[in-house]
Amino acid sequence: MGTAVSKNLELSTNEYCVKYVGKEPISINNPFWNTFLSYNLVPPTTVNEQLAFESRIESLLQELLKNNPKTGNFGILIQIFIEKTNELLSATITESNLFNWQLFNTIFIIRCTLKFLTEVLKEEDIMKHIELGNTRNVMEDFLGSLVGIIVDVPIDDYTYLIHLESATCLLLCLSIQYHSGGKSDHSTIYRLMMRGKHVIHAPILVKRLITNFIEQRKMPSGYTGNDGHSIVLNLASNIWSVLTFNKKYSEETNNTLEHPYQESPLATQSLLLLLVLVHHWTTQSNPYRNSLFSCLDSEDTNPVPPSKVASLFKIDFNLLYLALCKKASGDAATLLLYLLLHRNQSFKTYILNREDLDLLIVPILKSLYNAPNSNSHHIYMSLIIILILSEDDSFNETIHDLKLKNASWYVERALNDISLGGLLILIVIRTVQYNMLKMRDKYLHTNCLAALANMSAHFRNLHPYVSQRLVSLFETLAKKYNRLISRLKTETSHKDNTITIEADQESEDTEQDVSVLEEVLRMVLEILNSCLSTQLSNNPNLIYTMLYNKSMFEAFKDNVVFQDIIHNIDIILKYFSQLLHDKSLEHEVDAHQVLLIIQQGVRGWPKERLTKFPDLKFKYVEEDQPEDFFIPYIWALVGQQSILHWVNDNYPTIMVV
């Protein structure tokens, strides 16, 4: 039977490990390799287990680093992997558990070695370690073998870890850009990935990676190390067992490093690999990027244009949509959703035609609601998704037709019978106010207000609380604006009496703050005006709230910055104020009667009295050199979600939760 993993085995003195990293070259036909690759292994499943394992093999890898330039043993191991993969792909080996076991062991040792080398060597030196003594392009064949496994080998309990390690090895090869901080365009490995002979499989690889994400396969039972079994169950083995990690060390290590591996590690790793592939090599034709952006729904029966056949694949958009809904609160899934919405028109159209948009939007809103516990990058991407969707009028109308029974996670106020549109407005407003207090980021403000502006002409039947928060947003901004104006007057007066560099700088800073706030205030007024100009009859609660706070709007009537837009709002408020005044002369009115008067008053509303303003339409445009934002973000995700914990001074740390 498969022997249990020994917890006392010391890897640094194990004869097989010592020989592999030693000073003697080992030929590819040496029986040593068959013995060396016949061990039982439970791979690490947490960051701490990974770190514990790496600490136990570091001395061995240091020896390999010193000796491999002469022995070439690492390159030989990769050749063995390539040959074994060729056997697997050519179907000369079928359903052999022993073969799959050794293939996994081979690729796992390669993964451990690659991770170490990519962290300590430059790309050209890594290539020398791999290509030593070989006339063929071993690296290209190695990459091709990894791709071949992912696209051609069926996934079952005995090949799951082979697929997982193949994706991990590809990530490690591509991490050369992360560790160097250079551009992927100048990398030999990236050139091979983007231009090598295996590129013909790019569409199939992208499809397989997306399928892995959709399927969310769990780690097969018996592979997690919780039951004391080895990777190969019921397989005779009298060779040797390897201790992969020290549990006691793992438990004693700082808990802040512990990041439980996902229940579906292959899905996680596949998604991360896809994101790395499509976000690099963006200044040239990227076959993986092109395939993702052109994929179609498998239910689409329209013929594929001949010019797109080579790069195009079809996938079930319904399954992809449901998978994205389930994972919409996560960083990596949010990035995939962004890419598809922004660059794949077919998928964007498909989503906009869904009648269950709440399945996708509510998790995104929940992430924004929990902004204090999220990283700023995730907040940005969630808002950009909302902005992209808000560009479509049908979306803006549909969200107000979808009623939500309850949003129990919104703790400030019970939100019974609120529309998806109302909840969306509420969360975006809350994000603006959070940004004002904590982040003070103009770019985030711009995206929030642009989304609200796009939706404003379709605001319908706003919940009383949503109306209150919308007017409260203006009130908060107005108070801050008035404080800044007062400060500016004081600083100007002080500057006239005392001319100093410090006084000049303070005054300039305040003037800039005033200018920014004027833009934001005007945008909020334009949003209110757009809503009232187009949806007056459908928003009695908003009119009611604005009437209650009309003095706040009147205070801006004489300000030249807001005068034109305030003029419309003032006409509306005066009209309804007069109606209420007339009714109050007849009898006292309560809140319910005020709403009835408003609802009756809109029927006789002379809309021609309002000044016509251009429609509020904003479109998301990706900034120049977006890789400056995306690449560090994606590698931070890889480092934390794939348990390949690493630190690199080339990139700032991004806390991903």
- Whether 453 contacts 428, CB under 8 Å: no
Query: What pLDDT was estimated at residue 307?
Result: 67
- Whether 130 contacts 78, CB under 8 Å: yes
Angle at the Cα of 656 from the Cα atoms of 651 and 657, rounded to 5 degrees: 170
Q: pLDDT confidence of 64, banded at 50, 70, 90? A: very high
**What residues contact 355, with CB distance under 8 A and at least 6 apart?**
398
Whole-number Cα distances in Å, 481 to 487, 550, 555: 10, 17, 12
Q: How far is CA 56 from its chain centroid?
A: 33
Q: Over range 506-515, report the average pLDDT.
A: 78
The total number of residues written for the chain in this structure: 657
**What residues contact 505, with CB distance under 8 A and at least 6 apart?**
none
Highest mean pLDDT among 385-399, 590-604, 631-645: 385-399
Q: Kind and range of the H or E element at 516?
A: helix 501-535
Query: What pLDDT was estimated at residue 489?
Result: 79
Query: What pLDDT was estimated at residue 415?
Result: 87
Q: Over range 113-122, report the average pLDDT.
A: 94
> Could you give the CA distance from residue 231 to residue 223 in angstroms, rounded to a whole number?
6
pLDDT, tens digit, 9 for 90 and up, residues 207-255? 999 999 999 999 887 654 443 333 333 333 333 443 333 333 333 333 4
Structure-block tokens of residue 180: 């160097």
DSSP 261-283: PPS-HHHHHHHHHHHHHHHSSTT
Query: What pLDDT was estimated at residue 97?
Result: 78
Strands 418-419 and 403-404: antiparallel
Cβ count within 10 A of residue 381:
21
Of the candidates 551, 412, 413, which has an alpha carbon nearest to the alpha carbon of residue 471? 551
Structure-block tokens of residue 484: 């800044």
Structure-block tokens of residue 96: 């052999």
Query: What pLDDT was estimated at residue 585?
Result: 60
DSSP 373-397: GS-HHHHHHHHHHHHHHHT-HHHHH
Of the candidates 26, 47, 46, which has an alpha carbon nearest to the alpha carbon of residue 37? 26
Query: What pLDDT was estimated at residue 246?
Result: 36
Name the DSSP letter for residue 438.
Answer: I
- Whether 127 contacts 72, CB under 8 Å: no
> Could you give the CA distance from residue 58 to residue 11 in angstroms, rounded to a whole number?
10
Query: What pLDDT was estimated at residue 95?
Result: 58
Q: pLDDT confidence of 472, banded at 50, 70, 90? A: very high
Q: Over range 98-120, report the average pLDDT.
A: 92
Query: What pLDDT was estimated at residue 405?
Result: 83
Mean pLDDT lowest for which of 58-72, 269-283, 620-634? Answer: 620-634
> Could you give the CA distance from residue 549 to residue 555 in angstroms, rounded to a whole number?
11
Compute the mean pLDDT over every residue in the chain, rounded to the nearest whole number: 85
One-letter amino acid of 122: K
Query: What pLDDT was estimated at residue 230?
Result: 36
Query: What pLDDT was estimated at residue 220?
Result: 86
